[in-house]
Amino acid sequence: MLAIVAPGQGAQVPGMLHAWLELPGVADQLNALSAASGLDLVAHGTTSDADTIRDTAVAQPLIVAAGLISWNALNAPAADVVAGHSVGEITAAVVSGVLTPAQAMGFVQLRGAGMAQAAANVATGMSAVLGGEASVVVTKAVEHGLTPANMNGAGQIVVAGTLEQLDAFANDAPEGGRVRPLPVAGAFHTSHMAPAVAALETYAASMSTADPVAVLLSNADGNSINGGAEALRRLVAQVSNPVRWDLCMDMMVSMGVTGLVELSPGGTLVGLAKRAMPGVAAVAVKNPEDLDAARALIAEHVGKD
């Protein structure tokens, strides 16, 4: 059984689309995605520097575009299970047939811009905690007024809040945990993002959806989503609510997933899967050189118990 997963914000790196543009048809695809998002994704994916693509309003459309280009390049049959981490859920919505690429780019442009604006209201951020007992990490985070925003499993929890709260937390780190600030410009998946939700709700009301053609897992609780309308509702709600990637991985294991491919810019989710999903074969698609390995894994695992 095959799972296709899509990474979230923080996975972007300068020049990440350079090699993809050498593939036939990718330039046209990227130009269409740029038109749908109102951003020059060719420039941002090839020449923009790290600070530019760290901007939430740029990073989110860029990550979704990279995922969609890599999925198209795989030319794979529909996956058995699809999931995305944070903004990667939008990529997953396309892979599962819920949204069209153009719809996804319009949605993610509004999402990124709204979250960037919300982040500008108060200086906020996110830090990863590596190691430590989960309950201890969560308790310590709450003591400092932080939200456990990403429960990533495999010994990783991401906490979010104001920069002052994050500094205090780092100086009072939970036992056994190492605190590492993340290159994101806001406290995503917390109440700090609430201002971005209203605009997305209005925008989503005008969107049409299709029901998923593969099992689509939700960041909210790891459960499958049966209908397109429910998938879209959850995409809006997850902006200000925690990501439970640990539960998504648990669900994939319980369903019998045997192979996992992470779309571009891959790496983060495969790293988590190797620790939390032992025995599951995994390939991260970082650049076109990884396509053959991903295709071989897909052929071996898709549609099989």
Mind telling me the catalytic residues?
Answer: 86, 189
- For residue 30, what are the contacts with CB-CB under 8 A and spacing of at least 6? 17, 20, 21, 41, 42, 45, 65, 69
- The two structure tokens encoding residue 181: 């600030």
* DSSP codes, 58-117: HHHHHHHHHHHHHHHHHTPPPPSEEEESTTHHHHHHHHTTSS-HHHHHHHHHHHHHHHHH
- For residue 75, what are the contacts with CB-CB under 8 A and spacing of at least 6? none
**Residue 2 near residue 49 (C-beta atoms within 8 A):** no
Buried residues in 250-260 as b, exposed as e (16+ CB within 10 A): ebbbeeebbbb
Residue 127 CB neighbour total at 10 angstroms: 24
Task: Give me the sheet containing 147-153, strands edge to edge.
Answer: 147-153, 156-162, 124-130, 178-181
Give me the sign of the Cα torsion angle 206, 212, 213, 218.
Answer: positive
How remote is the C-alpha of 184 from its chain's centroid?
Answer: 13
Task: Give me the sheet containing 215-216, strands edge to edge.
Answer: 215-216, 81-84, 2-6, 259-262, 281-284
Gyration radius from the chain CA atoms: 18
Classify residue 187 as exposed, middle or buried by CB count within 10 Å of its CB (0-12, 13-18, 19+). Answer: buried
